[in-house]
Amino acid sequence: MNIYADRGNLLMLERRCAWRGLDFKLTASGLGEPLDGTAHDLFYLGGGQDRDQRLCAEDLLAHKREGLHIAARRGAVVLGVCGGYQLLGSSYVLGSEEIPGVGLVDVRTVRHEGPRLIGNVAIEVELDPGTPARVLAGFENHGGRTHLGADERPLGRVLRGHGNDGHSGFEGVRRGNVIGTYLHGPLLPKNVWLADWLIATALRIDIAALAPLDDAFEDLAHVGARRAAGL
Ligand code: GLN
């Protein structure tokens, strides 16, 4: 799936690697195509409408579920955004219909009768214990409310916006290097610190080993996104 600048997120990863002389290769895995969980460092699942999600869910289960589990077990980064986040979990329930997810994380999403949760959002995230909390700013638009299982940890704490279900105060999920979030539009260009964390984690190197870049524009984008969210 691909919506709200999902491709822009991939472009951001590609550029930040290229600017540092790091080789980057993007491989798409479309409907019906298999997924080799041992062949890549980072796996990205974008967002989509409910209709697209049905198709992708079927395909994920038939062709990609096992590959994604192999990838997660070997510590590869798996990032799911919005619809992709929902499908990382156990299921997405729409009325009497239950769309199964790949079950990488114990989360369940239920399509709510109420209003869609839409707007600019900012969350506080602590990706590595002992490092200062950072802000992720973005945009959310989802009808589903996502509930985390008892042993699951959220990605962050909502500072502004709705988050997983509009009232828990939590956003996203994080289990090891598997991350799900409702923030898109576009997540990584507005939060390059996360892009760098993903690159370093995927390559299994210390983030301090990544050459610094001139992030003047990116910092402005981050400040703008925070401001839009009311921070
Ligand atoms: N279809 C899902 C929902 O509305 C996800 C939407 C999206 O990816 N923007 O909850």
Confidence of residue 225 (pLDDT cuts 50, 70, 90): very high
| pLDDT at site 130 | 86
| pLDDT at site 49 | 86
Average pLDDT, rounded, for the chain = 95
Query: Residues lining ligand 1, judged by CB closer than 6 Å?
Result: 3, 47-50, 53, 82-83, 86, 141-144
3 CA distance to ligand 1 centroid (A)?
A: 9
Mutate to test the pocket of ligand 1, among 1, 3, 9, 50 (most ligand atoms within 8 A of CB): 50
141 CA distance to ligand 1 centroid (A)?
A: 6
Confidence of residue 145 (pLDDT cuts 50, 70, 90): very high
| pLDDT at site 109 | 98
| pLDDT at site 200 | 98
Confidence of residue 4 (pLDDT cuts 50, 70, 90): confident
Beta strand spans in the chain (E): 42-45, 77-81, 91-94, 97-100, 107-111, 117-125, 134-142, 144-148, 156-160, 170-171, 173-175, 178-181
| pLDDT at site 184 | 87
Mutate to test the pocket of ligand 1, among 7, 51, 53, 145 (most ligand atoms within 8 A of CB): 53
Q: CB under 8 Å to 182, separation ≥6 — which residues?
A: 81, 82, 85, 117, 121, 140, 142, 146, 162, 163, 164, 171, 172
pLDDT exceeding 90 applies to what percent of the chain?
90
pLDDT exceeding 70 applies to what percent of the chain?
100
Higher pLDDT, 160 or 52: 160
Which contiguous run of DSSP H or E holds residue 195? Answer: helix 192-203
Can you tell me which residue has the tokens 């709705």?
Answer: 162
Mutate to test the pocket of ligand 1, among 82, 111, 171 (most ligand atoms within 8 A of CB): 82
Closest ligand 1 atom to Cα of 46: 8
| pLDDT at site 129 | 86
140 CA distance to ligand 1 centroid (A)?
A: 9
97 CA distance to ligand 1 centroid (A)?
A: 16
Confidence of residue 141 (pLDDT cuts 50, 70, 90): very high
* Strand order across the 156-160 sheet: 134-142, 117-125, 156-160, 170-171
Just list the catalytic residues: 82, 184
| pLDDT at site 40 | 98
Distance between CA atoms of residues 216 and 138, nearest Å: 18
| Tens-digit pLDDT profile for residues 173-219 | 999 999 999 998 789 999 999 999 999 999 999 999 999 999 999 99
| Tens-digit pLDDT profile for residues 108-131 | 999 988 899 999 999 999 999 888
Full set of structural domains in the chain with CATH = 6-229 (3.40.50.880)
